Structure 1
Amino acid sequence: MDVPVFFAGLSMGLSLIVAIGAQNAFVLRQGLKAEHVFAVCLACALSDAVLIALGVSGLGAVMAWAPWLGPVLRYGGAAFLIWYGAKSLWSALRSKGALSAAAASERTPLLKTLAACLAITWLNPHVYLDTVVLLGSIAAQFPGRQVSFAAGATTGSFLFFFALGYGAAWLRPLFAKPAAWRVLEGLVAAVMGSIAFKLLVGA
């Protein structure tokens, strides 16, 4: 294990993942509801680990040879994000309950939650650009030490997602107020909608 390269991967992985996005908004919402938090965090972190490993192994070059893959991911991801964002917007406009009421009355089965989590993760082309292409190209700058870089980036994903999911507990008193919960749902809808728009216009 090359420690300097490990920390280079850790810092780069964290710098890419901390930006507000669909995946992070989903994890935050699950953390606030205390619903399937461990499973969601683990699914996100393991997905990142797989994508990082694929990038380090050179899949980024393979993706460049399959131009049809980009449009499929773009439009499929946009459709899902629009649907999920519409659900959050409807909740923001119609919900009159606080966090405790939302958690009690809208508890989603584990498999359905994981399906949504994995769809948000794997149907977003930006995830591939960040993990497979960008991290893969950076790892190539450390010949013979790519495994250390990938281990650092993967560690960053695990640290971030579990910190976000379980750290959301500190915000639960705030979201005990109905207005705050509606604001969160509105924020989730805005994030999902903005990412879907960028996907559709090819940004």
Structure 2
Amino acid sequence: MTTHTPPTVYLARHGETAWSKSGQHTGRTDIPLTPKGEADAAKIGARLAGTAFAHVFSSPLQRAWRTAELAGFAPTPEPELLEWNYGECEGLKTAEIRARRPGWDLFRDGAPGGESVADIQARIDGLVGRLKALSGNVLLFAHGHVLRVLAARWVRQPVPFGRALLLSTATVSVLGFDHMAMDEPAIKLWNDDRHLQ
């Protein structure tokens, strides 16, 4: 009888885009990386050099997919890694959304005309379950808000916990398990940008 070895899951947020730079919510709009975003994506590859991955997945959107390619990986597309569907908030900055909806908070209120908090929780919970069934090192290329939700749900916290997990472009984070209790999921590294210095 073989024993399942829990995975270590590396998260890479895509490189800079014009909208990530300006602070506009970028859900399903498929925009490219900036030149800086492309350069930073290559640095992710240098950061991860020497680490063998059993599985590499990417959001199908070009900003994540291209980041994976520039980092030296050939990922498998994973639709569940698509960014939060912002609906009516797409392309808007938080201040613009709050001018229409005072006090709006994505992690509490969801996106009008897009995904609710319950919607994204259901989507990510399914993905987390599949990831935890894998073994070895797993690498995901995706987007800021969806990765923050994924980390929150990985450690069995509610979606709003993701609000506290700030995540910059082209950073690397690592999810795993407590070495003393392998059934206890943990955030081992978060928002690491040392490779960009």
TM-score bucket of the superposed structures, by smaller chain: under 0.3
Q: Tell which has more relative contact order, 1 or 2 (C-alpha 8 A, sep 6+).
A: 1
Q: TM-score, structure 2 length as denominator?
A: 0.26
Bigger radius of gyration, 1 or 2?
Answer: 1
TM-score where L is the length of structure 1: 0.25
From the two aligned structures, give the one with the greater helix fraction: 1
